[in-house]
Amino acid sequence: MASAAAKHPVVEALLEGNARFLNGSSLQSGESSLQKLKDFAQNGQSPKAIVLCCSDSRAPVEMIFDQDIGDLFVIRVAGNIVAPSLVGSVEFAASKFGTQMVVVMGHTHCGAVTATMEHITDPQSIPSENLHDIVSRIRPHVFAIAQMPEMPAAEKISRAVEANVRASVDQLSHSSRIIEALVLEGKLTIAGAVLDLATGKVNFLDP
Protein backbone atom coordinates (compact mmCIF):
# COMPACT_ATOMS: atom_id res chain seq x y z
CA MET A 1 0.00 0.00 0.00
CA ALA A 2 1.38 3.41 -0.98
CA SER A 3 1.82 5.97 1.78
CA ALA A 4 -0.03 9.27 1.83
CA ALA A 5 3.27 11.06 1.12
CA ALA A 6 3.57 9.16 -2.17
CA LYS A 7 0.69 11.23 -3.55
CA HIS A 8 2.70 14.48 -3.32
CA PRO A 9 3.87 15.44 -6.85
CA VAL A 10 7.51 15.85 -5.80
CA VAL A 11 7.49 12.48 -4.04
CA GLU A 12 5.88 10.96 -7.13
CA ALA A 13 8.77 12.32 -9.22
CA LEU A 14 11.30 10.89 -6.76
CA LEU A 15 9.61 7.49 -6.79
CA GLU A 16 9.57 7.51 -10.60
CA GLY A 17 13.30 8.21 -10.50
CA ASN A 18 13.81 5.40 -7.99
CA ALA A 19 11.92 3.06 -10.33
CA ARG A 20 14.25 4.05 -13.19
CA PHE A 21 17.24 3.40 -10.94
CA LEU A 22 15.87 -0.03 -10.03
CA ASN A 23 15.35 -1.14 -13.63
CA GLY A 24 18.60 0.33 -14.95
CA SER A 25 17.09 3.10 -17.05
CA SER A 26 18.46 6.19 -15.28
CA LEU A 27 18.22 9.35 -17.39
CA GLN A 28 21.18 11.34 -16.13
CA SER A 29 24.39 11.75 -18.11
CA GLY A 30 27.70 13.42 -17.37
CA GLU A 31 27.40 15.77 -20.35
CA SER A 32 23.96 17.12 -19.43
CA SER A 33 24.90 17.35 -15.75
CA LEU A 34 27.95 19.46 -16.54
CA GLN A 35 25.84 21.86 -18.60
CA LYS A 36 23.30 22.11 -15.79
CA LEU A 37 26.09 22.89 -13.33
CA LYS A 38 27.27 25.74 -15.55
CA ASP A 39 23.70 27.06 -15.85
CA PHE A 40 23.09 26.89 -12.10
CA ALA A 41 26.41 28.63 -11.42
CA GLN A 42 25.09 31.62 -13.37
CA ASN A 43 21.40 31.54 -12.52
CA GLY A 44 21.22 30.06 -9.01
CA GLN A 45 19.43 26.95 -7.80
CA SER A 46 15.84 25.89 -7.20
CA PRO A 47 15.91 22.34 -5.79
CA LYS A 48 12.65 20.39 -5.91
CA ALA A 49 13.26 18.70 -2.55
CA ILE A 50 15.38 18.91 0.57
CA VAL A 51 16.66 15.50 1.68
CA LEU A 52 18.00 14.91 5.19
CA CYS A 53 19.66 11.52 5.01
CA CYS A 54 22.40 9.32 6.40
CA SER A 55 26.03 9.76 5.37
CA ASP A 56 26.33 6.06 4.52
CA SER A 57 28.28 5.57 1.28
CA ARG A 58 25.73 2.99 0.13
CA ALA A 59 22.95 5.58 0.00
CA PRO A 60 23.82 8.14 -2.73
CA VAL A 61 20.61 10.14 -2.83
CA GLU A 62 20.78 11.63 -6.33
CA MET A 63 21.61 8.24 -7.82
CA ILE A 64 18.93 6.39 -5.84
CA PHE A 65 16.26 8.84 -7.07
CA ASP A 66 17.81 9.34 -10.55
CA GLN A 67 18.06 13.09 -9.99
CA ASP A 68 20.58 15.50 -11.47
CA ILE A 69 22.66 18.46 -10.34
CA GLY A 70 20.39 21.12 -8.86
CA ASP A 71 17.43 18.80 -8.24
CA LEU A 72 18.02 17.99 -4.56
CA PHE A 73 19.33 19.97 -1.59
CA VAL A 74 20.98 17.13 0.29
CA ILE A 75 21.93 17.25 3.99
CA ARG A 76 23.88 14.16 5.03
CA VAL A 77 24.67 13.16 8.60
CA ALA A 78 25.16 9.79 10.28
CA GLY A 79 21.83 8.43 11.44
CA ASN A 80 19.82 11.19 9.68
CA ILE A 81 19.61 12.92 13.05
CA VAL A 82 18.17 16.37 13.74
CA ALA A 83 20.61 18.88 15.26
CA PRO A 84 20.74 22.71 15.18
CA SER A 85 23.03 23.10 12.17
CA LEU A 86 20.94 20.61 10.18
CA VAL A 87 17.74 22.43 11.08
CA GLY A 88 19.41 25.63 9.90
CA SER A 89 20.23 23.98 6.59
CA VAL A 90 16.58 23.03 6.09
CA GLU A 91 15.47 26.54 7.06
CA PHE A 92 17.93 28.01 4.57
CA ALA A 93 16.79 25.93 1.62
CA ALA A 94 13.08 26.26 2.40
CA SER A 95 13.16 30.03 2.91
CA LYS A 96 15.85 30.94 0.34
CA PHE A 97 14.77 28.72 -2.57
CA GLY A 98 11.11 28.12 -1.74
CA THR A 99 11.58 24.35 -1.72
CA GLN A 100 8.33 22.83 -0.47
CA MET A 101 9.22 19.17 0.20
CA VAL A 102 11.54 17.75 2.84
CA VAL A 103 12.33 14.04 2.88
CA VAL A 104 14.00 12.44 5.90
CA MET A 105 15.49 9.23 4.53
CA GLY A 106 16.97 6.45 6.63
CA HIS A 107 18.15 3.09 5.36
CA THR A 108 18.28 -0.54 6.37
CA HIS A 109 21.38 -1.78 8.22
CA CYS A 110 22.14 1.75 9.43
CA GLY A 111 25.44 1.79 11.32
CA ALA A 112 24.46 4.71 13.54
CA VAL A 113 21.23 3.00 14.61
CA THR A 114 23.04 -0.30 15.14
CA ALA A 115 25.69 1.44 17.26
CA THR A 116 22.93 3.02 19.33
CA MET A 117 21.24 -0.32 19.95
CA GLU A 118 24.59 -1.77 21.02
CA HIS A 119 25.22 1.20 23.30
CA ILE A 120 21.91 0.60 25.08
CA THR A 121 23.04 -2.88 26.09
CA ASP A 122 26.71 -1.95 26.54
CA PRO A 123 27.25 1.71 27.56
CA GLN A 124 31.02 1.33 27.10
CA SER A 125 30.71 0.53 23.38
CA ILE A 126 31.01 4.17 22.25
CA PRO A 127 34.65 5.34 22.55
CA SER A 128 34.23 8.96 21.38
CA GLU A 129 32.29 11.93 22.73
CA ASN A 130 31.48 12.97 19.17
CA LEU A 131 30.03 9.57 18.34
CA HIS A 132 28.17 9.67 21.63
CA ASP A 133 26.50 12.91 20.52
CA ILE A 134 25.02 11.12 17.52
CA VAL A 135 24.00 8.08 19.55
CA SER A 136 22.42 10.19 22.28
CA ARG A 137 20.10 11.80 19.72
CA ILE A 138 18.92 8.41 18.42
CA ARG A 139 18.75 6.57 21.76
CA PRO A 140 15.42 7.91 23.10
CA HIS A 141 13.59 6.89 19.93
CA VAL A 142 14.81 3.27 19.85
CA PHE A 143 15.27 2.47 23.55
CA ALA A 144 11.92 0.67 23.93
CA ILE A 145 12.64 -1.47 20.86
CA ALA A 146 16.03 -2.48 22.25
CA GLN A 147 14.30 -3.69 25.42
CA MET A 148 12.08 -6.22 23.61
CA PRO A 149 13.73 -9.53 24.63
CA GLU A 150 11.81 -11.87 22.32
CA MET A 151 12.33 -9.87 19.14
CA PRO A 152 15.11 -11.06 16.78
CA ALA A 153 18.08 -8.68 16.52
CA ALA A 154 17.56 -8.03 12.80
CA GLU A 155 13.94 -7.06 13.34
CA LYS A 156 14.94 -4.76 16.18
CA ILE A 157 17.31 -2.88 13.87
CA SER A 158 14.68 -2.67 11.14
CA ARG A 159 12.08 -1.27 13.51
CA ALA A 160 14.61 1.07 15.08
CA VAL A 161 15.57 2.50 11.67
CA GLU A 162 11.93 3.31 10.94
CA ALA A 163 11.34 4.70 14.44
CA ASN A 164 14.38 6.94 14.08
CA VAL A 165 13.13 8.31 10.75
CA ARG A 166 9.70 9.03 12.22
CA ALA A 167 11.30 10.77 15.20
CA SER A 168 13.44 12.95 12.93
CA VAL A 169 10.37 13.92 10.90
CA ASP A 170 8.54 14.90 14.09
CA GLN A 171 11.53 16.79 15.51
CA LEU A 172 12.10 18.66 12.26
CA SER A 173 8.42 19.62 12.09
CA HIS A 174 8.70 21.37 15.47
CA SER A 175 12.33 22.42 15.47
CA SER A 176 12.03 26.08 14.53
CA ARG A 177 9.52 28.89 14.10
CA ILE A 178 10.41 29.17 10.42
CA ILE A 179 9.76 25.50 9.66
CA GLU A 180 6.65 25.33 11.85
CA ALA A 181 5.15 28.37 10.13
CA LEU A 182 5.86 26.98 6.64
CA VAL A 183 4.25 23.65 7.59
CA LEU A 184 1.18 25.33 9.10
CA GLU A 185 0.78 27.52 6.01
CA GLY A 186 0.93 24.48 3.76
CA LYS A 187 4.14 25.70 2.15
CA LEU A 188 6.32 22.85 3.42
CA THR A 189 5.68 19.11 3.67
CA ILE A 190 7.96 16.79 5.64
CA ALA A 191 7.89 13.07 4.88
CA GLY A 192 9.85 10.05 6.06
CA ALA A 193 11.29 7.27 3.93
CA VAL A 194 13.52 4.22 4.26
CA LEU A 195 15.91 2.96 1.59
CA ASP A 196 16.28 -0.82 1.43
CA LEU A 197 19.96 -1.38 0.75
CA ALA A 198 19.32 -4.95 -0.40
CA THR A 199 17.05 -3.86 -3.25
CA GLY A 200 17.62 -0.13 -3.80
CA LYS A 201 13.91 0.54 -3.34
CA VAL A 202 12.74 3.56 -1.32
CA ASN A 203 9.57 3.18 0.73
CA PHE A 204 7.81 6.29 2.02
CA LEU A 205 6.27 5.95 5.46
CA ASP A 206 2.72 6.81 6.44
CA PRO A 207 2.49 9.72 8.90
Tens digit of each residue's pLDDT (9 = 90 or more) over 31-74: 677 888 888 888 889 999 999 999 999 999 999 999 999 999 99
- For β-strands 189-195 and 202-204, DSSP reports them as antiparallel
Strand order in the sheet with 189-195: 72-76, 49-53, 101-107, 189-195, 202-204
The residue that leads in pLDDT, 127 or 62, is: 62
Query: Cα(79)–Cα(12) distance, rounded to whole angstroms?
Result: 25
CATH for 4-204 is: 3.40.1050.10
| The model's pTM | 0.91
Determine the Cα–Cα distance for residues 122 and 105; give it in Å rounded to an integer. Answer: 27
Domain boundaries, given as residue ranges, for the chain: 4-204
Q: Which residues pair with 72 in a beta bridge?
A: 49
Q: What is the mean pLDDT of the chain?
A: 93
